[in-house]
Amino acid sequence: SYILTQPATDSNKARVSFLLSDEWSYTDTLKAKQFLEQGRAFANGNRYLLALYDFYTAQLLFETDKPQAEKMYLRSDSLLSAFKTKEAYYFRARAWHNYGAIHQLDNDSKTMLAVLIDKTIPLSIQSGDKNYLAQNYSDVGMIFMNQWQYDKAASYYDKAISILEQAP
C-alpha cells in the first residue's frame, strides 16, 4: 500500500487498491473491503474502473455471497463489453470463468463447461493472454476427465500444451 501514498494517477491508485483488495480477500475481508472502496473513490466515476470495481466486488463476495457474486460478475462483463481492449477482454474472461466456477462448486459442471467454451475461451483469445487461454483449455480438459471422456480431455490438454510451448 506504499504506492498509494506516492505521486501517481488516481487511475493507477484505483488499480492498486483493487489488487490489494483481491489479495486481502483471502485473509482479511474487512481490509479487503476498505481497499475496494478506496479504489472506487480513486476511480472518480471512470466507467472502466467502475466495471473493474464490480469485478473485484464479485471476487470479494465469491466465498461469502455466491448469488451476489454471480450478479456482480455478470454486471462487470456487461459494463466491460463497451471497451474493446485486450485488458477488458481479459477481465471479461475472468468474470465468466469465475461465474462458471460458482456453478461448478454447486456440482453444475454443465454450466461451467458451457461458460468456458462459449464465453471464457473466446474472450481469452481476444485478450491475447496465451497463458490464461491455456489455463482455460486445461480447465475444459479437467471437466472432461472428471466425466471419463478421455479423448475429449486429451484434445483440450493438447491445445493447452501447444499454446504453452509457444509462450515465452
Mean pLDDT over each residue of the chain, to the nearest integer: 92
* Whole-angstrom distance, CA of residue 43 vs CA of residue 125: 28
Task: List, for residues 57-108, the tens digit of each pLDDT value.
Answer: 999 999 889 999 999 999 999 999 999 999 999 999 999 999 999 999 999 9
Number of other CB atoms surrounding residue 34 within 10 Å = 15
Longest dimension (CA), the chain: 55
The percentage of residues in the chain with a pLDDT greater than 90, rounded to a whole number, is 85
Instruction: Give me the numbers of helices (H) and strands (E) for the chain, helices first please.
Output: 9, 0
Cβ atoms of 61 and 68 within 8 Å: the answer is yes
pLDDT for residue 126: 97
How many Cα atoms occupy the beta-carbon half-sphere of 80 within 13 Å? 27
- Distance of alpha carbon 44 from alpha carbon 50, whole angstroms: 9
Quote the pLDDT of residue 168. Answer: 72
Distance, CA of 107 to CA of 126 (rounded, Å):
29
Mean pLDDT on 97-126: 95
φ/ψ (deg, to 5) at 44: 50, 40
pTM: 0.91
